Amino acid sequence: MPNLHFLKKFTLVDTVTSAYNLGTTSDKFFTDEFDVYFMTTDFSGSTTNPEAIQMRLIDSSGSVLTGSNYDRATNRMFSHSSFGQQNNENATSWTGIWGEYDQAPENAVASGYIFNPASSSDFTTVVSQSASTEVGNFTARKSIAVYKVAETIIGVQFLVTNTDYFNNGIVKLYGVK
């Protein structure tokens, strides 16, 4: 069983932002102290339509990485219909690996491991799982994702794009030893 070391907690309260960055050059979200991180998220938004939470990485210069280097595979498990898969290659973000929400005040909760973010010689990968209610129906997701460029990552950006914004959120980060 891995040992989790609590590192940081970030809280969004009544915000009106569609993108939220965690990590700067002076306050890094990821450091070389750990090779593996564990993160939990809990987001709610302002929409009445389904909104997949997206994630991008932030490089060592503090820039959000928006190039087409994000791949992911997600198994969606619905309570009301057949299971389904969603896969993206060469995308500009990881979509839905931290869940999806709709019809405020519903929210999306998730947890996942992030591997090698601070390594300049390894790809950053994520294994996550989420639970949410979409259009009144329970949905669970299991995802695996890779950023296909080996570079030092110091942070993450969470974003939504369907003319929505985050109302509230909690992100907790742990180092894994």
Predicted confidence (pLDDT) per residue in 12-29, tens digit: 876 666 788 888 989 999
Residue closest to 116 by CA, chosen among 91, 94, 90, 147:
147
User: Tokens at residue 155, please?
Assistant: 């942070």
Specify whether the CB–CB gap between 115 and 121 falls below 8 A.
no
Where exactly are the structural domains of the chain? 4-176
> CATH class for domain 4-176?
mainly beta
Task: Give yes or no for residue 83 having a pLDDT over 90.
Answer: no
In angstroms, the Cα distances linking 5 to 9, 24, 40, 142 are 12, 21, 13, 24
CA distance 33 to 28: 11
**Confidence class of residue 167 from pLDDT cuts 50, 70 and 90?**
confident
The pTM (predicted TM-score) of the whole model is: 0.90
Region of 66 (left: φ > 0; alpha: ψ -120 to 50; beta: rest) is alpha
Range with lowest mean pLDDT among 3-7, 107-111, 127-131, 164-168: 164-168
Please spell the DSSP secondary structure of 49-102, one letter per residue. S-EEEEEEEEETTS-B--SS-EEEEEEEEESSS--EEEEEEEESSEEEEEEEE-
Which is more confident, 139 or 128? 128
